């Protein structure tokens, strides 16, 4: 059985390190501040925002929370973003996605000051990432790199296959891993819904990153023995034995993959913290 990558433990270690850094900043009268904006009552978004508030409190970061009704207009949200851009107590702005359908997400993302764009979604942030300029990086891809780094997974020269091409995970993590950096210097293949012979590509992967959002789509016969598997997927499947009526699974068939992979992230407990 492969080693289980304990994302929760890694996150705990990182928060301890950040707490120490925050303490040093406070000694210089610098208090990092994060503003989190939630529009509507999407259960998953509420859960994410609650976790972010808890993490801020744990590491000593000032947290400003703005929980707005789903009826909030686009103009009202843009005015709030403008106010936060000019708030000296706020170093980072995070507008939780998805937004209600009547609000243009791209317009809101573009309105955020790139110097406060902690999600790394602003076109300036993305452009800087692409050319290797220091910038805010998308959280999940950056988290993947941190996991690989802390698990001492060698990426230089490795064959990496990313299944999924979203702007939030697949595309940016591929970009980060082929850069001249550490982790990085990998040979990266991006697979997606139009890829022919997906299995053939996956079997070449020393590191397989599954981020397609399809439950158990990567089966054990698609995995190279000894591969490192990072499962980004969080999918609900029916389970009548659970009080909720469902359970969470990843994009990888964990039970089939765990005996083939050298290292693997579970779902939940890997990246879905």
Supply the angle between the helices 170-178 and 123-131 in degrees, to the nearest 10.
30
Q: Among the options 26, 87, 101, 119, which is catalytic?
A: 119
Among the listed residues 237, 186, 234, the one whose alpha carbon sits nearest the alpha carbon of residue 210 = 234
In angstroms, how far is the first alpha carbon of the chain from the final one? 23
Q: Please list, in sequence order, all residues whose beta carbon lies within 8 angstroms of the beta carbon of residue 13, skipping any fewer than 6 positions away.
A: 150
**How many Cβ atoms sit within 10 Å of the Cβ of residue 65?**
14
* 258 among known catalytic residues: no
- For residues 5 and 254, is the Cβ–Cβ distance under 8 A? no
> Which residues on adjacent β-strands are paired with residue 210?
163, 231
Q: Known catalytic residue: 9?
A: no
Residue 177: Cβ-neighbour burial (10 angstroms; 0-12, 13-18, 19+) = buried
- Quick check: is 113 catalytic? no
Mind telling me the catalytic residues?
Answer: 52, 96, 119
């Amino acid at each position: 059985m492969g080693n289980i990558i304990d994302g929760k433990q890694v996150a705990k270690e990182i928060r301890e390190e950040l707490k120490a850094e925050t303490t040093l900043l406070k000694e210089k009268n610098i208090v990092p501040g994060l503003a989190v904006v939630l529009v509507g009552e999407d259960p998953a978004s509420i859960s994410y925002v609650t976790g972010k508030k808890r993490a801020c409190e744990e590491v000593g970061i000032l947290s400003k929370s703005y929980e707005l009704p789903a009826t909030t207009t686009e103009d009202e949200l843009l005015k709030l973003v403008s106010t936060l851009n000019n708030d000296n107590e706020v170093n980072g702005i995070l507008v939780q996605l998805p937004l209600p359908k009547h609000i243009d997400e791209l317009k809101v993302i573009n309105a955020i000051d790139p110097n406060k764009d902690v999600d790394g979604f602003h076109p300036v942030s993305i452009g800087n990432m692409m050319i290797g300029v220091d910038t805010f990086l998308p959280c999940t891809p950056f988290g993947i790199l941190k996991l690989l780094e802390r698990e001492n997974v060698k990426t230089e020269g490795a064959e990496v296959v990313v299944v999924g091409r979203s702007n939030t995970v697949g595309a940016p993590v591929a970009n980060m891993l082929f850069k001249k950096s550490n982790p990085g210097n990998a040979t990266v293949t991006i697979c997606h819904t139009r890829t022919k012979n997906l299995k053939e590509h996956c079997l070449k992967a020393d590191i397989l990153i599954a981020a397609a959002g399809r439950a158990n789509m990567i089966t054990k016969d698609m995995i190279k023995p000894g591969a490192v598997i990072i499962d980004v997927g969080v999918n609900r499947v029916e389970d009548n034995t659970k009080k909720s009526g469902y359970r969470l699974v990843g994009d990888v068939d964990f039970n089939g993959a765990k005996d083939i992979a050298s290292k693997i992230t579970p779902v939940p407990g890997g990246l879905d913290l």
